């Protein structure tokens, strides 16, 4: 037993390495995980004390556990069997495909990343680009929703800044979970987005198995009380107007609603900008009749870094106002989950239209888009004032308190953006920029159409 055994040095090192890994995996790692888990739980408890709607346990569940729960769900299991029979493949092959879909969809939410990093970066980025205005009744709308209901924010989609803007504004309310398109499945952006609680969806998938896995995840999150953010238009507006809603995610919410369980309350969110960063890219895509956007991720990253650098140097250049206003909430139980989802979608889009903020640049573009001759600034201000008097909508205080200064600033923004020019006779759009003028005017065109119908 005490006999000396000689072994090569490389083998001894290998044995020690395996022993160290075994010790760490059986004793050290569980203890470290338990220690950090306890600290995280205490941090989340403190965080929930200041949130209007605390983070639900479902959102904090481990990603592995959620994936297992999803793929063993009875409805997903039945769809796996149907997929195997329809496509004449073994059930274990269909099961692995469902597992791959679940791994693709399920996020890995990190409260620290969301509230410690994500919301701070969102606040810094938004405030370096825009002056942010929120509707006067936004807080009241959130407080009016029952605590045991699941909140689903239904938003119009003007810019990719919508994600950042609403994440920043909702930070005091709760952690939102977004559906994100395949454009964001780029490392390391995809990792960060998953940790922010977003889930990826395939816009063009036609497979029944994929749709079932996605539907059951959305329904589990809704029943678990996770606040959702949905863009029913399914993509960015190419002409400035609200687009017809797509019914995919909304139908999943309605189909999974349990009348005896949690209520679902939809909050319409109207977003508008004095300057949409991607405006010309979107307009060009609309003219081509496709959605192939030419912007590269490197251009976006370079722009974001330049804005952060300007903020650090105290040389912030803003592009006007970004405005977010909440509309009248809609309870799914009160509306009726048995009614057609098309009626629900149309109702929500009308509520978004009714809450749409009216900003200075869209107002100026509305007045000037039909003009063939230059308009003196004083006359332009009078016409903007007359247009405002026709409307009963939410507007930032600057418009009503100091309209001339606000319109002058908006004209300066449009000239700097290469849309307008000033001559001796007054202001007018540049000949090749009429599409841009119409794009911004379209964001509030429905307000004037409704006013005309009412009159």
Cα 365 to Cα 411: distance, rounded to the nearest angstrom: 10
pLDDT at 300 over 70: no
Overall residue count recorded for the chain in this entry: 455
Under the banding of pLDDT at 50, 70 and 90, the label for residue 154 is very high
pLDDT at 363: 93
pLDDT at 45: 65
Cα 365 to Cα 367: distance, rounded to the nearest angstrom: 5
pLDDT at 11: 72
Cα 220 to Cα 218: distance, rounded to the nearest angstrom: 6
pLDDT at 174 over 80: no
pLDDT at 324 over 80: yes
What percent of the chain lies above the pLDDT cut of 90?
39
Cα dihedral 97→100→104→105 (10° resolution): 60
- Angle at which helices 341-355 and 248-255 pack, to 10 degrees? 120
pLDDT at 185: 61
What Rg do the C-alpha atoms of the chain give, in angstroms? 26
Dihedral class, residue 286 (left if φ above 0, else alpha if ψ from -120 to 50, else beta) = alpha
Under the banding of pLDDT at 50, 70 and 90, the label for residue 39 is low
pLDDT at 264: 94
Please indicate whether residue 196 or residue 307 has the higher confidence score (pLDDT): 196
Cα 436 to Cα 421: distance, rounded to the nearest angstrom: 14
Percentage helix, strand, coil for the chain under 3-state DSSP, each rounded to 5:
60, 10, 30
pLDDT at 421: 92
Best CA proximity match to 219, nearest among 249, 175, 260? 249
Q: Answer yes or no: are the C-beta atoms of 141 and 216 closer than 8 Å.
A: no
pLDDT tens track for 364-414: 999 998 787 889 999 999 999 888 888 766 667 667 678 889 999 999 999
Distances from the Cα of 110 to the Cα of 17, 32, 203, 370, 401, angstroms: 32, 17, 25, 50, 42
Q: Are strands 177-180 and 199-200 parallel, antiparallel or unpaired?
A: parallel
Sign of the torsion formed by the C-alpha atoms of 279, 280, 283 and 285: negative
Q: Outline where DSSP puts E strands in 58-101.
A: none
Pick the CATH number of 360-454 from 1.10.8, 1.10.10, 3.30.70, 3.40.1130: 1.10.10
pTM to 2 decimal places: 0.84
Cα 393 to Cα 24: distance, rounded to the nearest angstrom: 62
pLDDT at 339 over 80: yes
Please indicate whether residue 162 or residue 57 has the higher confidence score (pLDDT): 162
Averaged pLDDT, 420-445 = 92
Averaged pLDDT, 47-64 = 73
Averaged pLDDT, 192-212 = 79
Please indicate whether residue 397 or residue 209 has the higher confidence score (pLDDT): 209
Cα dihedral 118→123→128→131 (10° resolution): 150
Distances from the Cα of 408 to the Cα of 91, 276, 321, 376, 412, angstroms: 67, 19, 14, 12, 6
Q: What are phi and psi of 259, to 5 degrees?
A: -60, -25
pLDDT at 206: 67
pLDDT at 158: 92
Cα 236 to Cα 325: distance, rounded to the nearest angstrom: 18
**Residue partners of 443: CB distance under 8 A and separation at least 6:** 158, 240, 241, 272, 356, 362
Q: Answer yes or no: are the C-beta atoms of 218 and 249 closer than 8 Å.
A: yes
- Mean pLDDT, the chain, whole residue set: 83
C-alpha 265, offset from chain centre: 17
- 110 DSSP 8-state letter: -
pLDDT at 123: 83
**Residue partners of 373: CB distance under 8 A and separation at least 6:** 425, 428
Least confident of 38-47, 161-170, 272-281, 366-375: 38-47
Where are the domain boundaries for CATH 1.10.10 in the chain?
360-454
The two structure tokens encoding residue 440 = 């911004």
Averaged pLDDT, 159-185 = 77
Least confident of 3-17, 288-302, 323-337: 288-302
Please indicate whether residue 11 or residue 311 has the higher confidence score (pLDDT): 11
Cα 330 to Cα 94: distance, rounded to the nearest angstrom: 39
Determine the 3-state secondary structure of 298 from DSSP.
helix
Cα 158 to Cα 180: distance, rounded to the nearest angstrom: 15
Averaged pLDDT, 10-19 = 76
Determine the 3-state secondary structure of 6 from DSSP.
coil
pLDDT tens track for 93-136: 999 999 999 998 888 887 777 777 778 888 888 888 898 998 88
What percent of the chain lies above the pLDDT cut of 70?
82
Averaged pLDDT, 25-41 = 54
Please indicate whether residue 247 or residue 299 has the higher confidence score (pLDDT): 247
Q: Answer yes or no: are the C-beta atoms of 229 and 155 closer than 8 Å.
A: yes
């Amino acid at each position: 037993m005490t006999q000396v055994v000689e072994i090569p040095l490389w083998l001894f090192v290998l044995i020690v390495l395996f022993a160290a890994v075994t010790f760490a995996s059986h004793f050290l790692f569980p203890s470290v995980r338990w220690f950090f888990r306890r600290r995280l739980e205490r941090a989340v408890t403190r965080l929930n004390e200041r949130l209007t709607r605390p983070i639900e346990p479902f959102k904090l569940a481990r990603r592995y556990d959620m994936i297992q729960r999803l793929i063993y769900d009875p409805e997903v299991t039945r769809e796996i069997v149907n997929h195997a029979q329809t496509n004449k493949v073994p059930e274990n092959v269909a099961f692995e495909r469902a597992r791959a879909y679940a791994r693709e969809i399920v996020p890995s939410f990190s409260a620290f990343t969301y509230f410690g990093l994500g919301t701070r970066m969102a606040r810094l980025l938004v405030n370096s680009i825009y002056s942010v205005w929120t509707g006067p009744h936004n807080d009241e709308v959130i407080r009016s929703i029952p605590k045991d209901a699941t909140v689903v924010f239904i938003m119009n989609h003007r810019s990719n800044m919508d994600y950042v803007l609403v994440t920043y504004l909702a930070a005091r309310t709760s952690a939102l979970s977004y559906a994100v398109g395949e454009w964001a499945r780029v490392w390391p952006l995809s990792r960060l987005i998953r940790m922010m609680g977003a889930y990826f969806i395939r816009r063009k998938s036609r497979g029944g198995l994929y749709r079932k896995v996605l539907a059951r995840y959305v329904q589990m999150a809704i029943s678990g009380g996770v606040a959702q953010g949905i863009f029913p238009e399914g993509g960015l507006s190419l002409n400035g107007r609200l687009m017809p809603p797509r019914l995919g995610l909304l139908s999943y919410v309605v189909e999974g609603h349990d009348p005896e369980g949690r209520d679902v309350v939809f909050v319409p969110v109207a977003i508008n900008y004095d300057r949409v960063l991607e405006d010309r890219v979107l307009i060009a895509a609309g003219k081509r009749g496709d959605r192939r956007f030419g912007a590269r991720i490197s251009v976006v990253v370079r722009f974001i870094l330049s804005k952060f650098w300007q903020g650090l140097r105290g040389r912030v250049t803003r592009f006007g106002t970004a405005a977010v206003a909440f509309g009248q909430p809609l309870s799914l139980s009160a509306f009726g989950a048995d009614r057609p989802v098309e009626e629900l979608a149309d109702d929500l889009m009308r509520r978004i239209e009714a809450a749409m903020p009216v900003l200075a640049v869209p107002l100026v573009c509305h007045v000037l888009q039909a003009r063939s001759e230059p308009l003196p600034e004083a006359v332009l201000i009078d016409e903007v004032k007359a247009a405002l008097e026709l409307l009963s909508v939410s507007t930032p205080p600057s418009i009503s308190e100091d309209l001339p200064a606000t319109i002058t600033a908006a004209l300066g923004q449009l000239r700097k953006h290469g849309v307008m020019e000033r001559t001796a006779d007054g202001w007018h759009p540049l000949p090749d920029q009429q599409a841009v003028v119409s794009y911004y005017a379209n964001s509030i065109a429905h307000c004037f159409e409704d006013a005309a119908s009412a009159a």
